[in-house]
Structure 1
Amino acid sequence: MTHTEVFLIALLIIFAVPWFVWRVFRTDYWAPLVVVQIIGGILLGPGVLGAVFPDYYAFVFRPEVIASLNGIAWWAVMMFVWVAGIELDIGQAWKHRRETGITAGLALGTPLLFGAVAALFILRTPGWIGAAGAHWQVVAGIGMACAVTALPILVLFMEKLAILREPIGQRILRYASLDDIAIWGVLALILVDWERIGRQAMFLLGFAVAAWLIRRLMARLDAPDRWAVGLVWLIACGFAGDWSGLHFMVGAFLSGAVLDAKWFGHEPMDRFRNIVLMTVMPVFFLSTGLRTQWDVGGAAVFAVAGVLLVASVAGKLAGVGLAGRILGWQRGEARLIGWLLQTKALIMIIFVNILLDKAIITNEAFTALLLMAVASTMLSIPMATPLLKRLGAAVGREA
């Protein structure tokens, strides 16, 4: 078979299998399509499909096919992170700064602390620190992975629960938005390369000037031109971020964060995000699954994933619960918000992909974190739904 034919077979598997499982088995309550696609990527990776059917795996996912898929995956995740950056609403966070600051700070800081403590325990055994990783980078990276909330997936979940446009939904978006900024800030700190510190300083200074210019330009453009210019801006920032030694996804996020959602419109942004999720992000999930490995032993990877899941869930619930006590929330409100903020899936996977790219963590640590992210995300809807029904009027009020 030609390279094109094998590539199309790989695409057929990537798109058809997860959708078929999601649709036929009606997994939406426990595992929305995006979660099924992530799990599908793991099952299609070398640790499962490659171990059970090595010849078939080697035939379909040959190096040249993987190289082609990786190119699509890079572009997919750049667009997705760009949209996540645009969706940040700093103005609303500032308007409600006390409530947002307390909640977002505790919702991020507490699971980060729990995750870092878990990482210190895990790192007492070998196999988790990458070739270029320092001990503090791995501890900070795992801690932050336990604290992450995936803003785009949170939006999808709240749409499903019909609370996205309700006051409580908008509050939760503010908390997640502020935490998104912190996540990328911590990532930039972890990735500081002292050999490239000059390049990174140049990138940040140049980005500040370019962001001021692009904002002035975008305000003067018509809507169709904003999309074209915005994507060019995305590519340029991704290249500059990678050149500086940070990562192209750091540049992609920053390129979106300095743009205003009102320039694009919420409905067009929702459609664009959904198109990206449907058409190209499944390739990213597959490329993520191809990175999963179990060389330290499957039992050890699952055990570490379990420890991290406990740290993540307990830390998030404890942090939001403390915020609820400080701010005087209604009984059950903090638990609802805490469970919805458990949605880690995409942003956490993007985050740990970067750590893996930079050899800060090993494939085995990546696999454990990936399993934790999937489990955490799958808990959100089932745990939040009964709480939402009991809360009633609290959904319609501001904090």
Structure 2
Amino acid sequence: MVSKLSSIEVLHFLVIVSVVLITARVLGEICRKFKQPVVVGEILAGIIIGPSLLGTFFPDVFNNIFLSEPRAYGAFDGLANLGIILLMFVAGIEVDLKQIRSQGKQATSISITSIALPFAMGFGAVWFFHDYIFPVPSNDRLIPSLFFGTALSITALSVIVKVLIDLNIIKTKVGSLVVTAAMVNDFLGWVLFSIIIKMMDPGKGDGSTVSILVVLLFALFMVTGGRWLIDKLLGLTKKHISGPGGIITVSCCLCFLGAVITEYLGIRGVFGAFLMGIAVGDSKHFSDSTQNVLHQFVMYIISPLFFASVGLRVNFATNFDLTVVSIIVGIASIAKIVGAGIGARASGLKKNESLAIAFGMNARGSQEIVLGIVALQVKIIDERIFVGLVVMTVLTVLIAGPLMKYYLEKHLAESKEPAEVDIPISTRILEQPEVVTTPVTIKG
């Protein structure tokens, strides 16, 4: 049995948590003041207090805080990984299956084309130029190619909701379509990534194929019959356990259970937590007030620890490769903007509306970073590529709002149409780490 942490190790653990949380929250609030997503400040906090800056210029201070007691840092890393699980659980809660169905043809068109083209270009870039991008030549190009295609094709639901709220256009036709298409992106992206992780198992072959099918069946169950079972369970919880604490307790237990199931099936627990979040968020017993309590804890305590830990894992100064960053940012942005734009135009939207949607769908965020960390841990990618993914995330977030605003104003000026369109919007759309202090409930 592993011995418990010593007194000095507990002290270092508390110091690490305090330093990381304070720095992440301060920089997050600074970004909020400048109308930028909080997650950008949280990532920058990790870069500043991590090996990139503090470790380079004040190595003794960095070593004393983070490296002098390895088991203390290991405990912090475990806490940050718990943050990933809870973060993706909350992300799943935001996916509103009713809204996805109600938006119909237009959202489906935008979502499919905004996934297909980035996936194809990301896959092709690695497949044909693997040895140029990766430092070690390899004959096994399939898994890295699939990962690149998936990582470059997902839109960050939480980021784009924040952008739409800041621009005051979340109730418009454009805002509704972007949110719905981003929901579909999230779900399909995690299904694809779960398959990629399973393909990395040493025991490939028929067993792996069966496991992938089991995972897909589990995902199908969770968005169908599983939703009904969880709704009944939460109803019993509400009846027999007083206060929102009972619902939160059972919901978090379900989150961890979902993570256990998918880990047992051979993929990462974040996917199970995401699926469980979809089912829990769909329940009529999971109220907005309950979601608010869970949201506040995850997004302002656990989530900052995770995003700051991104900067602690890699030295961004020594692993910054301009060629790799340029390839990732270029392929991700061009393919996503063109793909989403084509889908929007094909669904009947006008040129400037389509461009506004395209730049909105180009916003990346927490999902890409979670995927990147998982891929780094299982050695699909190296540190240079991880740094490139983080840089791509930050840049696409920064340009999404201004360009959406520009093209929407241009569209309104040309068409003289009113800004508001009476389209039902989900009451479940809340922000993730990039959000304002209180979650937003939006009614159509």
In 1, Cα distance between equivalents of 2:263 and 2:363:
27
1:213 counterpart letter in structure 2: L
Letter in 1 for 2:386: F
- Aligned-partner Cα distance in 2 for 1:128–1:166: 46
Distance 2:15 2:382 in 1: 30
Other-structure match for 1:346:
366
Letter aligned with residue 284 of structure 1: F
The partner residue of 1:76 within 80, 83, 86 is 83
Structure 1: unaligned runs, 5 residues or longer: none
Distance 1:47 1:119, change over 3 A: farther
Distance 1:280 1:25, change over 3 A: closer
In structure 2, the residue matched to 1:396 is 420
Q: Percent identity?
A: 22
The Cα offsets for residues 161-195 of structure 1, whole Å up to 9 and x where unpaired, read as: 22334443222111011111110111122122462
Offset at 1:373?
1.3
- 1:1-399 pair list within 5 angstroms: 2-21=8-27, 23=29, 28-29=34-35, 31-62=36-67, 63-120=70-127, 122-125=129-132, 127=134, 134-193=140-199, 195=203, 197=208, 208=221, 211=226, 213-222=229-238, 224=244, 225-259=246-280, 260=282, 262-266=284-288, 268-270=290-292, 272-293=294-315, 298=319, 301-392=321-412, 393=417, 395-397=419-421
**Distance in 1 of aligned mates of 2:65 and 2:116:** 43
Q: Secondary structure at the match of 1:191?
A: helix
Which residue type is aligned with residue 52 of structure 1? F
- Please tell me the root mean square deviation across aligned C-alpha atoms, in Å: 3.0
Q: In 2, distance between residues paired with 1:25 and 1:288? A: 17
Q: What's the TM-score, normalizing by structure 1?
A: 0.88
SS in 2 for 1:116: helix
Q: TM-score normalised to the size of structure 2?
A: 0.79
Q: Deviations over 1:315-346 (max 9, x none)?
A: 11111211222122133111211222222120
One-letter amino acid of the counterpart of residue 362, structure 2: Q
Query: Aligned letter for 1:124?
Result: D
**Equivalent residues of 2:122, 2:152 under 8 A apart:** yes
Distance 2:122 2:341 in 1: 17
Distance 1:345 1:86, change over 3 A: same
| Structure-2 separation of matches of 1:107 and 1:204 | 22
Q: CA separation of 1:347/1:2 partners in 2, compared to 1, >3 Å: closer, same or farther?
A: same
Contact 2:48 2:54 (8 Å CA) reproduced: yes
Please state how far the C-alpha of 1:350 moved relative to its aligned partner. 0.7
Whole-Å separation in 1 of the counterparts to 2:150 and 2:316: 23
Q: Is the 8 A contact 2:55 2:62 kept in 1?
A: yes
Q: 1:25 to 1:162 in 2, by over 3 A?
A: closer
The amino acid of 1:269's aligned partner reads Q
Q: CA deviation at 1:247?
A: 0.7
Residue 32 and residue 278 in structure 1: after superposition, are their counterparts in 2 closer, same or farther (change >3 A)? same
**Structure 1 residue 3: Cα displacement:** 2.6
SS in 1 for 2:132: coil
Conserved 8 A contact 1:164-1:170: yes
Tell me, yes or no, if the aligned pair for 2:46 and 2:308 is still in contact at 8 Å: yes
Per-residue CA distance 1:92-127 (angstroms, 9 max, x = gap): 222332212111001111122222233346522364
More moved, 338-347 vs 171-180: 338-347
Unaligned runs of 5+ residues in structure 2 are 1-6, 424-444
Question: Alpha carbons of 1:190 and 1:202: their partners in 2 closer, same or farther (altered >3 Å)?
Answer: closer
Structure 2 CA distance, aligned partners of 1:376 and 1:215? 37
Alpha-carbon distance between aligned partners in 1 of 2:136 and 2:276, rounded to the nearest angstrom: 30
Q: For 1:265 and 1:166, locate their aligned partners in 2 and report how far apart those are by CA, in whole Å.
A: 25
